[in-house]
Amino acid sequence: MSNDFSAPSDTQEHCIGDYVLQYRIGHGACAKVYLAWHVPTGTEHPNITELFEVIATPDVLYLVMEHVREGDLREHLESHGPLSERQARAAFRQVVSALQYCHRRGIAHRDLKPDNILLDEDGTVKLADFGFGRRVSDDSKLSTFCGTFYYMAPEVLRQEPYDGRKADVWSLGVTLYRP
């Protein structure tokens, strides 16, 4: 099969690098998400979606990532209602662990919200979508207005310089309070 294509249909399979695209499973404002198969290479943190490979073609940049089967937290809350206190505590611990891992390595997520918290059938929670992610240092301030309105820290909304890690913590608190 050819590596150059515009977009597979829902039933058509295509090869991209070492992956076979099965079908489209979702989309966002800037991306389409396809189910594909590949031999996993391991992950650095159990609560962060794994990025297997980045494949650049002349027209498209492909991010080949782990598929988390149960979808995102927002969808789960809409279809099943609120989490029990025990479930919320377990999920929150996992997201805090992932966020702490990122922050210790100098990475701010900058778009933490229920849509970017994925759930697997075994109860594992994974932080996803680092599209606005940015390397930060202890003394750096960010100025890019980005994220999702309801989950943004006040300083981001005011378009003031901000600490990306502190803005992430604010967004996490809002996510716990107002999914």
111 is catalytic: yes
Mean per-residue pLDDT, 170-177: 93
What is 73-177's CATH topology? Transferase(Phosphotransferase); domain 1 (1.10.510)
Q: Is the pLDDT of residue 166 over 90?
A: yes
Provide the pLDDT for residue 37. Answer: 63
* pLDDT number for residue 2: 35
The pLDDT of residue 16: 66
Confidence of residue 41 (pLDDT cuts 50, 70, 90): very low
Is the pLDDT at 43 greater than 50? The verdict is no
Supply 150's token pair.
């309801």
Set 111, 115, 129, 168: catalytic member: 111
Do the Cβ atoms of 152 and 111 come closer than 8 Å? no
Residue 155's pLDDT band, with cuts at 50, 70 and 90, is very high
Q: How many angstroms from the chain centroid is the CA of residue 166?
A: 18
Question: How confident is the model over 102-135, as pLDDT tens digits?
Answer: 999 889 999 999 999 999 999 899 999 888 888 8
Six token digits for residue 115: 């849509």
Q: Per-domain residue ranges for the chain?
A: 14-65, 73-177
User: Percent of the chain, pLDDT > 70?
Assistant: 84
Greater pLDDT, 61 or 139: 139
Query: What is the spatial distance between Cα 37 and Cα 19, in angstroms, rounded to a whole number?
Result: 6
pLDDT value of position 38: 56
Can you spell out the DSSP letters for the chain? Answer: --S--S---SS--EEETTEEEEEEEEE-SS-EEEEEE------S-TTB--EEEEEE-SS-EEEEE---TT-BHHHHHHHH-SPPHHHHHHHHHHHHHHHHHHHHTTEE----SGGGEEE-TTS-EEE---TT-EE--TT--B----S-GGG--HHHHTT--B-HHHHHHHHHHHHHH--
Report, as an integer, the average pLDDT of 74-94: 94
Q: Is pLDDT of 136 > 70?
A: yes
**pLDDT-derived band at 29, boundaries 50, 70, 90:** confident
Which one has a higher pLDDT value, 40 or 174? Answer: 174
